[in-house]
Chains A and B, each alone.
Chain A
Amino acid sequence: MADALLEVRALSRRFAAVDALQGVNFSVTAGEVHALIGPNGAGKTTFIHHVSGALRPDSGSIHFAGREATRLSMHERVRAGMARSYQITNVFTGQSALDNVALAVQGRPDAGSSFRFWRPVAAERRLFDEAVAFLEQVGLGDKAGQLAGHLSHGEQRALELAMALATKPQLLLLDEPMAGTGPEESARMVELIEHLARHVTILLVEHDMDAVFRLADRISVLVNGRLICTGLPDEVRQDAEVRRAYLGDHL
């Protein structure tokens, strides 16, 4: 595809005797919400780890924003415009929500070097003003001063998202943003992602099928490390192989 933001070609990775990923071809078009689904153990998180740079493939290539990214480290990919949220909430629990996001803003190349040894961060109004804006964007505007560890699970997930957004990504990798949230929080998260999708391309890994079919422009299905189908939600819903392999009576 000409305007693919993320292009993964023939990606393979083996762990000991397990073929975790087998020749996965996958692309995300700029502007879309592309959901990746599959049964537990299909290799979805492994795939995200490869895209984000936490793991290196045995073979295959990853192109991001028109640039070869296969061998870029995680922080280089983030700087190139790829941000991720974690399946397990991964925030700095001992810091306030605001400090968490300010840290993310500070890490951005356009925020300047962090090799500064003298001036207190607290005096850097700009970092915190921006951080507040990102917190408001995810609906945590009134929780800025609270310790991240004291936020509810759903709020921590939203904070995680605010931190990813603060890196100003072109592509957002969301690894099960709904995991462990109650129905109400889930609904709020769906709304939030819908809202974000207007500004940023999203690769969404999620088990909640209602959320997936509501949010996704396209869906890919990963089973046992192989990508068995990519298509519009309706096509995937009808696909016989997908039904057999995975969805069954979910749909």
Chain B
Amino acid sequence: MAFYRPARWQNAAVSVSLAMLIALPELLTALDQSYYTGFATRVLIFALAASSLNLVLGFGGMVSLGHAAFFGIGAYVAAICYDAGIHEGLLVLPLAALVAGLFALLVGAISLRTRGVYFIMITLAFAQMTYYLFISSSAWGGDDGMPIYERMQFAGFSLLADEALYYLALGVLALCMLLFARQAQARFGRTVQAIRENETRMEALGYPVFRYRLVCFALGGAVAGLAGALLANLTGMASPNLLQWTQSGTLLVMVIIGGVGYLWGGLVGAVVLLLLEEFLLAWFEHWHIALGLLLIGIVLFAPRGVAALFGKHHG
């Protein structure tokens, strides 16, 4: 794969999409479908989480099956903050990112000494350990998780209205996508993409490969934590299910559907998967069959993901 380069039409597409997303809550209200504002927020949050995994997997070339750990930890940080009386998002969100990022730094420092299938297994093991830690701890609600009875504020503004939380999630997603797009063309992004292509060659050019992978891994973990904190505020709880390996699997499926290593891969995958889930589930219970068929179709006909179908640019 070549290094990421933005497509010529990207700015136009982003502007149009952003305008549509800004108008969406108004539109839904006008159509008397404001129930879907919460759903749209969920999509944005998962787009953020999947994009953070795409940074690690697609750009960094690290197949992690433990990404849910960072996602879930972000959710728990939000719940613990609520418990501790910290209700300001300007504090909660950075804290969630920091804790999840530091934990990712620790997990990465150990896991990144292994490669291939061992790396997959060790990240999975860390995530499962985290999961069991949280379900066995009564302080953190055990199996039931931790409730958040009232959403945090943001810069003093209430997020009680679904629209407000929607716009916060949109803002955070937009900022993170901007960061992802910038880093992909900056020194750091080119370094990790080159390491993905040929690790030994980069060592032989004098790059301390381990350090770059570790920072990439931790950055992905931090953004996943951000997404987790937003999700906990949306759903009103931090659930241990967020930490489970199936959650890591879901994020992985999103990235694969969307396009591994494509800037918009995580976002596209989250939108496609959650829309399918929402609307197929309404039709028939066994919507996973349709999802399975879709996955097979994508792997056969668009092996580089949906985002890859739109132009040749990639990361």
Contacting pair A121 B185 (CB below 8 A): yes
On whether A163 and B185 interact (CB within 8 A), knowing A94-B197, A103-B190, A106-B191, the answer reads: no
Whole-angstrom CA separation of A18 from B21 in the bound complex: 65
> Which one, B190, B204, B208, contacts A121 given CB within 8 A?
B190
Q: Is the CB of A74 within 8 A of B201?
A: no
From A107, A109, A118, B182 is in contact (CB under 8 Å) with A118
Check B2 against A118 for contact (C-beta < 8 Å): no
Assembled-state Cα–Cα distance A119/B189 (Å): 11
Please tell me if A33 contacts chain B, counting CB pairs below 8 Å: no
Most buried by A among B191, B204, B209: B204
Closest to B5 in A: A122
Contact of B187 among A75, A90, A115, A163 (CB under 8 A): A115
The interface residues of chain B lying within 8 Å CB-to-CB of A113 are: 187
Chain A CB within 8 A of B118 CB: no
Which of A52, A99, A106: most chain B Cβ within 10 A? A106
Beta-carbon contact of B186 and A163 below 8 Å: no
Q: Which of B2, B185, B203, B209 is close to A95, meaning CB atoms less than 8 Å apart?
A: B2
**Which chain A residue shows the least CB distance to B209?**
A75
Which stretch of A60-68, A77-85, A191-199, A203-211 is in the interface? A77-85
CB–CB A83/B204 < 8 A: yes
B1 at the interface (CB under 8 A from A): yes
CB of A117 within 8 A of CB of B3, answer no
A116 touches B187 (CB 8 A): yes
In-complex Cβ contact of A107 among B189, B197, B207, B215 (8 A): B207
Assess whether B200 is in contact with A103, with CB atoms less than 8 Å apart: no
A238 contacts across to B, CB distance below 8 A: none
Q: A119–B191 Cα gap in the complex (Å)?
A: 13
**Contact-size category for A:** 35 or more
Whether the Cβ atoms of A84 and B204 lie closer than 8 Å is yes
With an 8 A cutoff between CB atoms, is B212 at the interface? yes
**B187 close to A78 (CB less than 8 A):** no
| Pair A115/B188 contact, Cβ less than 8 Å | yes
Residues of chain A from 102 to 151 with CB closer than 8 A to chain B in the complex: 103-104, 106-109, 113-122, 124
Does B15 have its Cβ within 8 Å of any Cβ on chain A?
no
Inter-chain contacts of A74 with B (CB < 8 A)? 203-204
Number of inter-chain CB pairs below 8 Å: 90
Give every chain A residue within 8 A of B189 (Cβ-Cβ). 117
User: With contacts A114-B212, A115-B187, A118-B182 known, is A163 near B200, CB below 8 A?
Assistant: no
- Contact partners of A92 in chain B: CB under 8 A: 194, 197-198, 201
> Is B206 in contact with chain A by the CB < 8 A criterion?
yes
B34 within 8 A of A: no
Across the interface, do B187 and A114 meet the contact criterion of CB distance under 8 Å? Answer: yes
At the interface, yes or no: B205 with Cβ under 8 Å from chain A?
Answer: yes
Interface residues of A in 45-95 (CB under 8 A from B): 52, 54, 73-75, 78-79, 83-84, 86, 90-92, 94-95
Residue in B183, B206, B215 whose beta carbon sits within 8 Å of that of A118 in the complex:
B183
Q: Does A29 contact B (CB under 8 A)?
A: no
Query: With the chains together, A79 CA to B209 CA distance in Å?
Result: 13
A156 interfacial contact with B, CB 8 Å: no
Closest CB in chain B relative to A106 CB, distance in Å: 6
Let me know if A167 is at the binding interface, CB within 8 A. yes
Does the CB pair A90–B186 fall under 8 Å?
A: no
B186 with A103: CB separation less than 8 A: no
Cα distance A243–B116 in the bound complex, in angstroms: 46
Q: Are B203 and A75 in contact (CB under 8 A)?
A: yes
Q: Which residues of A contact B191 (CB under 8 A)?
A: 103, 106-107, 114
Within 8 A of A (CB), among B202-237: 202-209, 212, 215
Please list 20 pairs of residues, one from A and one from B, whose beta carbons are closer than 8 Å in the complex, sorted by A's number.
Answer: A54-B200, A75-B203, A75-B207, A78-B203, A78-B204, A86-B201, A90-B201, A94-B1, A94-B2, A103-B190, A107-B202, A108-B206, A114-B187, A114-B212, A117-B188, A118-B182, A118-B183, A119-B186, A121-B185, A121-B186
A-B pairs with lowest CB-CB distance, top 8? A78-B206, A120-B185, A94-B2, A116-B187, A114-B187, A107-B205, A117-B183, A74-B203
* Given A107-B205, A121-B185, 8 extra CB contacts under 8 A: A54-B200, A73-B208, A78-B205, A114-B207, A115-B212, A118-B182, A119-B187, A167-B205
